[in-house]
Amino acid sequence: MQDVHQHRELGLDQRPQPILQRRHDVLQETETHKQSRDSLEEVRLDSRLKVFLADSLQLRMLFCTTLLDLTNKLFT
């Protein structure tokens, strides 16, 4: 019994567990993949939002310019 305690203290009783280690590695890889996919999706959404805002700004500017032109024509 004392030998078991000595082995535990020295870390000699820890046998390699390749199946559990592989499972842990796969879970880590999966989590890393999910995080990178999520961040890539955020970048895509950000770029889509920027394009949408730029397009809507251009439309507003076009509308305001047209409205200003019509107003000028009306009062001149």
Nearest CA to 12 out of 21, 24, 3, 22 is that of 3
Number of domains observed in the structure of the chain: 1
For residues 22 and 8, what is the distance between their CA atoms, to the nearest angstrom? 23
In a domain, 39, yes or no: yes
From first to last of the 76 residues of the chain, give the pLDDT tens digit: 555 555 555 555 555 578 888 888 889 999 998 999 999 899 999 999 999 999 999 999 999 999 999 999 999 8
- 69 domain residue, yes or no: yes
Residues counted in the chain: 76
Dist. CA 67–CA 74, nearest whole Å: 10
Domain of 48 in residue numbering reads as: 25-76
Residue 11: inside a domain = no
31: Cα separation from own chain's centroid:
12
| pLDDT for res 2 | 56
